[in-house]
């Protein structure tokens, strides 16, 4: 396994559409293993193949402690429910965060590294990660979906008006 370089904001590969995976071979398994290692090394909740330089429909998500990392090959979002609004970032946009509205519950259908189809449902952060990573495979980054990006001052203070609730101060 190896840590791969993560491409950063401004690299045209982040705007391109990925190709479907047709060969479920050893190379695919290696790419997935490396992506998991690279995601963990960077403390990310997910990583998509274009972020490590491959225009293939492959992404990994690790956002629910009770599950092993989810490997998604040729994924499609098949159901979305409820709504969440919050801060979102990306390993390709270090230090940048925006406010993004996403469904709170998301079901994705995908193949594993051997080509077997499966479905999995995620909530909250995992649902957000499924949407974020599948967007990457279509050349869409969170920066184009954010209602607004946060300022450095807001990131330091944590004082973000849209995320304040009436119950502030209560545990």
- Asked if 52 is part of the footprint of Zn ion (rule: CB under 5 A), the reply reads no
Complex with Zn ion: residue 90 or 99, whichever CB lies closer:
90
Signed CA dihedral, 151, 157, 163, 166: sign only: negative
Q: How far is the CB of 20 from Zn ion (least distance, A)?
A: 20
**Total binding residues toward Zn ion, as defined by CB under 5 A:** 1
Task: List beta partners, residue 61.
Answer: 46, 70
- Asked if 49 is part of the footprint of Zn ion (rule: CB under 5 A), the reply reads no
Q: How far is the CB of 136 from Zn ion (least distance, A)?
A: 6
Tell me the residue number closest to Zn ion, measured at CB: 90
Residues tagged active-site = 133
Contacts made by residues 65-72, CB under 8 angstroms, sequence distance 24+:
67/126, 69/36, 69/39, 70/120, 70/122, 70/126, 71/32, 71/36, 71/110, 71/112, 71/113, 72/108, 72/110, 72/130, 72/133, 72/134
Name residues contacting Zn ion, limited to 88-147 (CB under 5 A): 90
Complex with Zn ion: residue 103 or 142, whichever CB lies closer:
142
Complex with Zn ion: residue 21 or 49, whichever CB lies closer:
49
């Amino acid at each position: 396994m190896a840590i791969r370089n993560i491409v950063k904001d401004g690299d045209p590969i982040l705007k391109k559409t990925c190709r479907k995976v047709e060969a479920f071979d050893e190379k695919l398994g290696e790419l997935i293993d490396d992506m998991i290692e690279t995601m963990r090394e960077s403390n990310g909740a997910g990583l998509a193949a274009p972020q490590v330089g491959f225009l293939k429909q492959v992404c990994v998500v690790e956002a629910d402690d009770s599950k092993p990392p989810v490997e998604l090959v040729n994924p499609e979002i098949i159901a979305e429910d409820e709504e969440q609004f919050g801060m979102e970032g990306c390993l390709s946009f270090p230090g940048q965060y925006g406010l993004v509205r996403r469904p709170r519950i998301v079901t994705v259908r995908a193949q594993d590294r051997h080509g077997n189809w499966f479905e999995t449902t995620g909530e909250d952060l995992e649902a957000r990660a499924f949407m974020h990573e599948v967007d990457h495979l279509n050349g869409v980054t969170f920066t184009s979906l954010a209602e607004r990006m946060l300022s450095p001052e807001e990131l330091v203070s944590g004082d973000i008006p849209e995320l304040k609730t009436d119950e502030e101060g209560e545990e």
